[in-house]
A and B are shown apart, each in its own frame.
Chain A
Amino acid sequence: MSDQTILLGAVAYDPKVVTIWEGIREHFSEQGVAMDFALFSNYERQVEALLQGHIDIAWNTPLAHVRVRQRTGGKSHSLAMRDSDRNFRAKVIVHRNSDIKSLKDLEGKTLAVGSSDSTQARILPLYFLAAEGVDLARITLLPFDSDLGKHGDTGSSEIDVLRALHDGRADAGTVGDLVWVTEQAAGHIDVNKIEPLWTTPGFDHCMFDAHPGLATEKVEAFRRALFAMRWENPRHRRLLELEGLHEWLPAREEGYRSLEEALKLQASP
């Protein structure tokens, strides 16, 4: 295998991941950029593989991205993100019979939350609720750790939260805004039973993280080929739809401050 090949890591949270990366690999090849990919079953191993230099670039969740930044002392290269990764939000959804009219009313109630490693369904909604003055110690958590290691990519823990709300097993629940609106658009939500109470501030989501030692020309080649993908191109569009974006955008770091802060608070007793 030539040294020119960029090796990218992605987590196989769904069979479509193979379709996506085979397609993007083909597109890179048409752009004259040799790229191959390796699939991991969880983000922890992918992050380790990146840090040890086994892969050049990792397609990371926000949690994995923040860990890479911390472990490399900010020396990793942040390459690009999806348009949909910017201004992600989480929602607090309540059962209509729960009598919850404000965030303070959550105290004393049962709150369904997603996987412990899901930024949008657990880590950040709880962080933002605390920041709003809600005493988390007075809330009974109903956790759904259904896709640990996948950092919430499958969305299955969010679906579990919504189901618990429908069934009345929880008074309230936290999910990402994307799952909440797509489930509504698909007709999966009974609006007579549940409704949104609050939306968190925005935060950023996934990121391509490159190893600090990756050659500049490879960094540039990767960005050039990635940014050449176009929504108007039917072959590209199919891949972009599967990956959940309209266009690739340059990286930005400010959208991860809240997550960095939340992880610091988690770490301190």
Chain B
Amino acid sequence: MSNEVAAIAVDVGDLPLGGGLLALVRPALNALDPGGVLAVLSRASSVSEDLPSWCRAEAHEYLAVQEISPGVERHLIARGRFAISIPINHQSRLETPQRSLSSQEMLDVEPFPGSADPVTGFAPRGARVEQGGPTYPFTLNERAHVAPPEIAKLYDQAVAAQWDANSDIPWAKVKSLPAEVECALGQVMTFLAENELSALYVPSRFIARIHPHFAEVAMFLATQLADEARHIDVFLKRARLCGRGLGISSVITSRSLLSLLQCDDFIEATFLLSVLGEGTFLDLLSFIERFAPDEATAELTRRAKNDETRHVHFGLAHVRFGLATDPSLYRRLEATVRRRSATLHGAGGVPAPLQDALTILAAGGSEPRSVARGHECYRELLETMHLSRIKRLGHAGFTAEQAEMLSLLHTPNFM
């Protein structure tokens, strides 16, 4: 037995078992396959008493001990057959960067797997996972349904683009406006906040289902949630500042957002929320920025629009990646839009309080000729939204015909 060849030797000096020896012996055993032999060189006599007992408790095999020089013993241990070898991944090592270190570089050294096993739980991608753990209830385990290649770059951009709703908006420059403009602005901000609340809740439903091996997607969605939280914050601040407070929440908005919240499929929800909904909101925010009655309103809508642009990019990337790997997805997405449209059928057009508020905002007041101009701008907005949606759907990979049809079926609530 003492002729057994040890794969690894560890010198533990005079450490007793309960005095730090295990911190050297356990990692050495972990580096071996089951059955692999470790030599422990020890100068402590108590180790002869304790190491065999520890091996019995841990189901390793204590093979033999030999005095190799006066006072120095060589214990041989075979790693137990119940221990499961956990290979070390040397490729995931990063070199020291010149300046910054991006998520994209992290992803490059440890790429997404094609599919992930729910039994790895919250273990980060690349961790050496001990076998026998419980199975987690993650359902988004396939890369094609979750993680587009652009995700790490989008996350890096999102982190760099965070801003402060308290101090980055020139709130001090807000002054009282004519009563009808104040009312219109309060209404528009109410509508925006209500819709952004849905954009906060909808992605959050999916984060807990995403396998942590695609953590960059969950992390990106976390920035999206932070963005929405900030938008809700600034929209409500603007509604209350010097104005008449909040406006009306319409049933059509409520129905539309409920149908969004009830969507159970991640890619379908991303399509409805980010490609169609937030995509349409880009034009709405541009409109509000263009007719903003003060600098603060223009600044907050501009900043919100920048954030929303990122969400739309994620939505497009997500859908495009899904379509590239699963051709049946076109049909599914089309069916989702049709189903939602059928649910909302007859519920009405664009919420009337919003229509009126956008018209007054564009008019800058209630003088009839200005209102006529405002109304014209509003009509142009609807046309712009339709055309942009078609363009965006084209980017996602739909044909012109499909895009036209899907755009027309989109909710009159915009989101």
Contact = CB atoms under 8 A, between A and B. Distances in A.
Interface of A: 83-84, 87, 89, 91, 177-178, 180-185, 187-189, 191, 195-199, 231-234, 237, 246-247
B131 A232 contact: yes
B18 A185 contact: yes
A167 B160 CA distance: 58
Interface residues of B, number: 22
Contacts, number: 66
A177 B59 contact: no
B54 A83 contact: no
A234 B57 CA distance: 20
B17 A184 contact: yes
A184 B374 CA distance: 80
A87 B57 CA distance: 11
User: Which among A196, A234, A247 has the greatest number of chain B C-beta atoms within 10 A?
Assistant: A196
Interface stretch (B2-10, B132-140, B208-216, B233-241): B132-140
Interface of B is mostly: helix
6 contacts: A180-B53, A181-B57, A185-B54, A195-B46, A199-B49, A246-B80
B344 interface: no
Given A89-B53, A182-B57, A195-B46, A234 B133 contact: yes
Contacts of A231: 82, 132
Contact of B50 (A181, A232, A247): A181
Given A196-B46, A196-B50, A234-B132, A181 B119 contact: no
Contact of B134 (A189, A232, A234, A246): A234
A191 B53 contact: no
A199 B53 contact: yes
Nearest to A182: B57
A246 B17 contact: no
Given A184-B50, A198-B49, A234-B119, A84 B56 contact: yes
Nearest to A194: B18
A189 B82 CA distance: 27
Contacts of A183: 18
A87 B56 contact: yes
Contacts of A233: 132
Interface in B186-236: none
Given A185-B22, A234-B132, A195 B82 contact: no
Contacts of B54: 181, 184-185
Contacts of A199: 49, 52-53
Interface in B39-74: 46, 49-50, 52-54, 56-57, 59
